[in-house]
Amino acid sequence: MHRNGKLTTLYVVLALAATTVAAAQDDTVPRQQRLTVGGYGEAVYSRHFYSDNVFRYSHADRYADAKGYGRFDMPHAVVMLGYDFGHGWSIGTEIEFEHGGVEAAVEKETEETGEFEQEIERGGEVALEQFWLQKSFGRCLNIRAGHIVVPVGMTNNSHLPTQFFSVYRPEGENTIMPCTWHETGVSLWGRAGDWRYEVQLLPGLNSFMFNDAGWVHNGSASPYEFRPGNNLAAAARLDWSGVDGLRLSVSGYAGNSFNNDIVTDERSRYADVKGTVLIGAFDFAYSNRYLTVRGNADYGFLADALLVSSHNKNQTTMSGNPYPHTTVGSAAYDYALEAGVDLMAWSGKRQRLFLFGRYDHYDSFIPAEGQADVEWCERRVVSCGVNFRPLPEVSIKAEAGVRMLADQYNSEPFVGVGVTWAGYFKH
């Protein structure tokens, strides 16, 4: 791809990223040019060559010869709107439809011995992932307030379907952390030379929503029409891009999670429980004309995991409550690497055809002292596939892989194909 093509691709990705916004335009710019309309979407078919029975881990031998199942899915369909009022004031919104509908579904609950239950992941009818007002004082200082994306980890910062090779979002981070993580809060961000920084003040996660299979993944969800905010938390990210094509990033989160709900418990046994969540993450991306490589490593710690788990299990006595009632580990980790070679880089054409490979290793349940390990929560995923990009905004994906668990469990092969896009309708 020639240099102008590279710049076009880079522009689209940066302009659509949830954490990047251009500085305010001059007041002489016509108002119709201040409106931004864009979005992204994914349509997927996947085939899984293993059982999805809720007992497939507790009685693995019964499901060793399962034929598997197929699924059609619309993981994300998003409309993005922005407007520059001038004088440094701007707004941004992102409205997301997940899986082709609203955030309510009927699911089989592993924790409830396979019962069908209606799940409400967040109050309301659609997912409002961004809705913020920003004041820009210059390149180095911007203040954003409202509903914002929390850029902890690689996927939360780069969650558009053109920013990863796999058909679905990278599995490890999407398992152990909220993804895409969005909260109502305040953000301070800016750029200086090759550096970009961001610091956020947010509501803390809710330990009632933690579980073994996803660690704190559901901790940002709220079944109510509001987000309980008894505890506040902080998130931060620092990016360096001093080498052409390379970005190095560190990010983190810290906040207490216990009693961050409309239901609180101050009995003596839980009087000193904080449920502090600490997450540290490193990620990088490198791209040139021929090669794209991305990787990440995340580690999270939960204080008081034993007491939090005991408290969550006891919530079964509360009739009709929306909590998962499972144990949660004291830590979780994920590391991943993906690399793709553009087979059309030598053709001189605008199209790109990536042959890629990907490896994930994650564990959503590292037990605290006194807890029994949940061994199926540790998984390794190996996959490979192709991404064809006829345009920078469009990607047609195919992937085949296998998820490997401990020896006593069955491996989980899968294939998937998807059509995705990310771009502007008007800018």
pLDDT digits (tens, 9 = 90+) for 65-83: 999 999 999 999 999 999 9
Token digits for 167? 């058909």
Predicted confidence band at 265 (pLDDT cuts at 50, 70, 90)? confident
The pLDDT tens digits for 289-299 are 999 999 999 99
Q: Which residues contact 63 (CB under 8 A, 6 or more apart)?
A: 50, 51, 53, 55, 56, 410
This prediction's pTM: 0.87
Q: How far is CA 245 from CA 11, 241, 287, 342, 355, in A?
A: 13, 8, 5, 15, 19
**Is the Cα torsion angle 300, 306, 311, 315 positive or negative in sign?**
positive
Q: Measured between alpha carbons, how far is 196 from 25 in angstroms, rounded to an integer? A: 20
Q: Measured between alpha carbons, how far is 259 from 238 in angstroms, rounded to an integer? A: 30
Other residues' Cβ atoms within 10 Å of the Cβ of residue 226: 10
Beta strands, E only, 16-149 = 35-48, 69-73, 76-86, 89-98, 104-109, 115-120, 127-138, 141-149
Name the percent of the chain lying above pLDDT 90: 74
Q: Average pLDDT in the 259-285 region?
A: 91
Looking at the DSSP bridge assignments, the partners of residue 254 are: 234, 278
Average pLDDT, the chain: 88
- Predicted pLDDT at 128: 87
Q: Which CATH number is associated with domain 3-426?
A: 2.40.160.10
- Predicted pLDDT at 183: 96
Question: 194 by DSSP, 3-state: which?
Answer: coil
Token digits for 166? 């796999």
Q: Which residues contact 317 (CB under 8 A, 6 or more apart)?
A: none
